[in-house]
Structure 1
Amino acid sequence: MEHKPTVSYHLFLYREELARRNARQLRLSRTKIEITDELISSTVRNLKTCSIEDLKAVNRELVFKRKLRRNVSKLKKIAKLANSSSSN
């Protein structure tokens, strides 16, 4: 059985990365995705007791998560281009 880190742990990692002098945007974005995913999962598990406002919040979180994934994809491409240009 795979043990998944908690939201608290992800928040700890996020704060640690922010405290770095040269915070890595890719790592920050990935951690945000994990935090958002946990919040969405938590809400979905309690769907029977969700209000309309909770469902709207889940929708906003899903949109935010999609934007973060696109951002991570762009950051990966930029890093790949930087690595290929520095090796030339």
Structure 2
Amino acid sequence: MEHDKLLKPTVSYHLFLYREELARRNARQLRLSRTKIEITDELISRTVRNIKSCSMDDLKAVNRELMFKRKLRHNVSKLRKQAKTQKSHS
């Protein structure tokens, strides 16, 4: 279990990557979306781990985060399809 923590990047690191990508002149939307998914996933995991002490507001927030994550995944799949289409037309 401890070994897994060492392999998985932290939320702080994902936030760093996100800010770095935003600072780029031509930010890559696919990379930004995937990083947002990772951040959201980690936040959801942290809340679920402490579910016994969660308030109703916390549970509502998790629900919103899950919907946001679903929307991001949908956007990532659209971006991937667009990238494949652009490559095939090149």
Query: What interval of TM-score do these two structures reach, taking the shorter chain for normalisation?
Result: over 0.9
What is the RMSD computed on CA atoms of the aligned residues?
0.6
Q: How many Å separate the matches in 2 of 1:52 and 1:42? A: 16
Aligned twin of 2:16? 12
Name which of 27, 48, 52 aligns with 1:48: 52
Q: SS where residue 22 of structure 1 aligns?
A: coil
| Same amino acid, percent of matched pairs | 81
* Paired AA for residue 22 in structure 2: L
Question: Which of 37, 40, 47 is residue 36 of structure 1 equivalent to?
Answer: 40
SS in structure 1 of the partner of residue 74 of structure 2? helix
Matched, 1:70 2:74: yes
CA distance in 2, matches of 1:70, 1:83: 20
Which aligned segments of 4 or more residues in structure 1 are displaced greater than 6 angstroms? none
TM-score by length of 1: 0.96
